[in-house]
Amino acid sequence: MRKHIFNAGPCVLADVVRENTAKAVIELGNSGQSIMEVSHRSKDFEPIIKEAADLLKEILNIPEGYSVLFLGGGASLQFAMVPFNFLNTKAAYLNTGTWASGAIKEARLFGEVQVLASSEDKNFNYYPKGYTIPTDVDYFHITTNNTIYGTEILRDIDSPVPLIADMSSDILSRPVDVSKYDLIYAGAQKNMGPAGVTVVIIKNEFLERVTRTNIPTMLKYRVHVENGSMKNTPPCTAIFTVREVLRWVKSIGGVREMDRRAQAKADLLYHAIDSSKLFVGTVAKEDRSRMNICFVMKEGYKDKEADFIAFAGTKGVIGIKGHRSVGGFRASCYNALDIASVQVLVDAMAEYEKSIL
């Protein structure tokens, strides 16, 4: 039986995406070959990667002068690629959680890193504010949504220096003003597809800032831009699925509709948490993520957390165990999660609460 999938990533995909991928794994159209078998340099595959890039440009309203790349290695490889290409002397970072910390660690291998603000003092349960972005840095790096701690910025900030954003866990969940960013990257396995491909949106002009001459070929953004993500064999099957996800997003109304749905799901679940006598949120209300909703049981009931996970499991709810850094629960409500699944979780919370209070 199909589960209610609250996984933090990889995570739930729309039925049509799974079905079309499965079909293509057997045979891609009438090509006589599987999507796993077709040459990446063929009339079978080239239109797929082109359509995926074009759809992303359309859906996110990406201005002229930007390139869309599909790379392997995960967002974590971007943590190093960004400074390898663009950190010439100094860069500014915001430390908003585990992945932001990871990006900072990699940047320090390449130059000076100024951490403008950090929410580590409160176990990353808020999004830092009131910092000033210096003008003498090569770029400013942010993580727009923090998957583990459940905070999200939900707006496009103005930066006097090139702005780089890891949007792995909230891309495509709202309209974004891409013109404010010089580089956006996102592992696909939340809102965009399966694990195994990372999307990069890069302003072509930004490539001119690269001065290092010792960058390995596969870590050079310019190489990937010039080769249309095909310097080597790209992860073709994962890119096919990304195209299916983008077709699906477009078909149901694009990022405006995703935004509306994300808000509705988050409102439903946060309301349940806030009105509960048993459950309590872990994140400052104004910084709450709509993608990863973190909560715990109130003091005195902590020993029931595992029991509730098992109880929710009997309702078909999976993936709600919180990350070990936070504990409790994390319900990830990505684009493809239906609000009906959130209702199942909310009902389970109410039923469980009634049973023990």
**Amino acid of residue 3:** K
Provide, rounded to whole angstroms, the least separation between the CB of residue 231 and its own copies: 7
Q: Is 340 in the site for its own copies (CB under 8 A)?
A: no
Restricting to residues 279-318, name those near its own copies by CB under 8 A: 316, 318
CA 21-27-31 angle, to 5 degrees, is 125
* x-or-dash string of contact with its own copies, 10-49, rule CB under 8 A: xxxx----xx-xxx-xxx---xxxx-xxxxx---------
The answer to whether residues 331 and 4 touch, using CB atoms and an 8 Å cutoff, is no
In the complex with its own copies, the residue whose CB is nearer, 42 or 179, is 42
3-state secondary structure of 341: helix
**49: helix, coil or strand?**
helix
The token pair that represents 250 in the structure block: 């477009």
Q: Is 54 a catalytic residue?
A: no
Smallest gap from Cβ 37 to its own copies, in A, equals 6
Q: How many residues bind its own copies (CB under 8 A)?
A: 67
Residue closest to 108 by CA, chosen among 133, 80, 132, 131? 80
Residue 216 within binding range of its own copies, rule CB under 8 A? yes
CB of 226 to its own copies, least distance (A): 15
Please report whether residue 106 would count as binding its own copies according to CB under 8 A: yes
Judged by CB under 8 A, does residue 356 bind its own copies?
no
Distance of CA 77 to the CA centre of its chain: 14
Residue closer to its own copies, measured from CB, 230 or 339: 230
Shortest Cβ 96–its own copies spacing (Å): 18
| CA gap 87, 212 in Å, rounded | 9
Contact status: 2 vs its own copies (CB under 8 A): yes
> Counting contacts by CB under 8 A, is residue 1 touching its own copies?
yes
Cβ atoms 295, 328 nearer than 8 A: yes
Q: Which of residues 56-75 bind its own copies (CB under 8 A)?
A: 71-75
* CA-angle at 342, arms to 286 and 241, nearest 5°: 95
Q: Applying CB under 8 A, does 180 fall inside the site for its own copies?
A: no
Q: Is 248 a catalytic residue?
A: no
Closest CA to 282 of 311, 317, 337, 323: 323
Q: Which of 190, 203, 220, 265 is catalytic?
A: 190
* Residue 287 annotated in active site: no
Exactly one of 157, 195, 280, 344 binds its own copies (CB under 8 A); that residue is 195
State yes or no: residue 222 binds its own copies (CB under 8 A).
no
Q: Does 322 bind its own copies (CB under 8 A)?
A: no
Cβ of residue 218: shortest distance to its own copies, in angstroms?
5
Rounded Cα gap, residues 111 and 353, in angstroms: 51
Angle at which helix 98-107 crosses helix 75-86, to 10 degrees, equals: 30
Q: Which residues, at least 6 apart from 221, have a Cβ–Cβ distance to it below 8 Å?
A: 69, 81, 85, 183, 200, 202, 207, 210
Span interacting with its own copies, options 235-243, 282-290, 295-303, 340-348, rule CB under 8 A = 235-243
Task: Please tell me which residue in 44, 57, 99, 170 is annotated as part of the active site.
Answer: 99
Which residue, 108, 62, 52, is CA-closest to 238?
52
Q: What does the chain come to in residues?
A: 357
How does strand 279-281 pair with strand 292-297?
antiparallel
Six-digit token pair at 37?
């078998």
Query: 2 or 285, CB closer to its own copies?
Result: 2
Q: Hey, which residues are catalytic here?
A: 99, 166, 190
Residues at the interface with its own copies (CB under 8 A): 1-3, 5, 7-13, 18-19, 21-23, 25-27, 31-34, 36-40, 71-77, 79-80, 84, 102, 105-106, 109, 187, 189, 193-197, 214-219, 231-238, 241, 316, 318-319
